[in-house]
Amino acid sequence: MKKKLIIDADIGVDDAQALMVAIADPDVEVLGIICCYGNTPLENVLKNTLRVLKVCNRLDIPVYRGCSEPLLAHKRHAGDFHGKDGLGDVPDPDAPCLELLQKKRGVPAMIKLVNQNPGEVTLVATAPLTNLALAAQLNPSFSKNLKALYIMGGNTESRGNTTVCGEFNFVADPEAAYIVLDRYTCPTYIATWEFSCRNSLPWSFCDTWLAQDTDKARFMEKISLHTRTMVQTDRYQKELVSGPGFNTCDTYAMAAAIEDTLVTESEEVAVTVELEGKHTRGMMVLDYMDLLKKKHKVFVMKSIDLEKFKQLLMNALK
């Protein structure tokens, strides 16, 4: 029995890496990809998703148009981190046309796919959580039909990568993150910003990974050049404290969803999201004192089997 995944993503370079890991796994069936604004505006995300599927020869996977802006917050994007188009500003004259997109909108499609496969679908969210929040509002029992939810987002030590205390996916739509962490009752696993920083890989591995003689590797090398150049500057290392290595943050959540034994340490704790603080809006809050009296707790990832993680990445570009 293959693992059934729905992927909610704002396809930039790191989302592309995560998506390629999922597609390459023979034990995974991707039921659909719901696109969201984030790394770049939604129209770019839609194009990027189709570009990644084309290089993987998987344009059969349904792609849906999701939300183009947050619920209430001011719209923001990831600047020029992954290039203006989200994939390193690499020209692609043969990019698939948007006519390949599904006609059905993303959130209703996600609800339908999950309801058709109750208890079987794992949802992997690597974007702002706007689509997921709307799904919970439109169908309050939505999360009860999920097998599990894996999120890349939030933080545990108030270390920001967008604001002083905020990780991008949560800061981009704090209200959506709050709703998801408040209303989703399925098993929930979170790969936070600090967690991905602590589990970054050596740049020597990245070089080996991209040196594979395949179209996928050549594609990844081109689209990631802009980001790698930026990340390897001293200024970035000092500002984001990301560690001296290759941090493909979205892929940690995807890999954990695919490989049950990948996460070697986690902690179960109730969490919420700060909505009002001047410096802390969008920051994930961990309730170690149980003051929130929340029944549902999440699993915050702490460490992983890095060798298994490396293998999943290598397989993605074969």
- The domain that holds 246 is classified in CATH as 3.90.245.10
Share of the chain above pLDDT 90, in %: 84
Q: What is the mean pLDDT of the chain?
A: 93
pLDDT for the residue 22: 98
Tens digits of residue pLDDT in 21-41: 999 999 999 999 999 999 999
Of 279, 312, 314, the residue nearest 160 (C-alpha): 279
**Sheet harboring 121-125: ordered strands across?**
63-65, 28-35, 3-9, 121-125, 146-152, 188-191, 298-304, 263-273, 284-287
pLDDT for the residue 237: 53
Determine the structural domain holding residue 50 and report its residue range.
3-316
pLDDT for the residue 245: 80
Q: What angle do the packed helices 13-24 and 306-316 form, to 10 degrees?
A: 90
Number of domains in the chain: 1
